[in-house]
Structure 1
């Protein structure tokens, strides 16, 4: 499992290269003049469902995500947590048990904050899940 986690976080590092040119956050929407997330970097952590896998949502909400958010400091704009629910298609399991997302201003600042804390983040996985998460790094365009 340790080698899979190392591979997973290596993939995150590779993904960040693709987003090395960051846009400044455009906080005002042209359509409704409200605050938006456009231009932010979104780091999404998805926990796929499969038989026999577990996920402790209470721990994730109250311990893990706040711990990681604390490492991100002022770069963090917000974070979200989603709980998977059955999608209504008969005989189809839900695709993800949970999805967490961090919205940050700067990818390079995110990387700098996570790197020295990676061991603590990885070690905490065992406290809430036996799933290897899937990561996606993206830029919010609307």
Structure 2
């Protein structure tokens, strides 16, 4: 399994509509991507940095796919519609990162 993280940097003067993202974009994305191997999607909305300053990221959204190939197919089929929705909730270009899921480290 792989995790695809979309990080939305909180740059000076940028905007991010968390309500739209959680209530509309995330369900929209999940509905389109599940047929292509999406197993889970969850989002953390930034509240603050540890020192109380504004959060370095507006949001971090994580999508778990069965394989990178499934993600690539999903983006080929749905990416244009997903990216077209971005202006509805932010003017930030998300930073995307692939990660491999590690072993469960809970004890």
Q: TM-score, normalised by structure 2?
A: 0.86
Cα pair distance change 1:120/1:87, threshold 3 Å? same
- Is the counterpart of residue 76 in structure 1 residue 35 in structure 2? no
Deviation of the 1:54 alpha carbon: 0.7
Q: What SS does the corresponding residue of 1:101 show, helix, strand or coil?
A: strand
Structure 2 gaps, min length 5: none
Q: What SS does the corresponding residue of 1:108 show, helix, strand or coil?
A: helix
Matched with 1:58 is 19
Structure 1 gaps, min length 5: 1-39
**Greater radius of gyration (CA):** 1
Work out the CA distance in 2 between the residues paired with 1:58 and 1:123.
18
Which structure is richer in relative contact order (CA contacts within 8 A, separation 6 or more)?
2
How many residue pairs match? The answer is 102
Deviation of the 1:106 alpha carbon: 1.6
Query: CA deviation digits over 1:79-107, x for unaligned, max 9?
Result: 111011212326x4421011101011121
Q: Which runs of 4+ in 1 moved over 6 A?
A: none
Task: Identify, as 1 or 2, the structure richer in strand.
Answer: 2
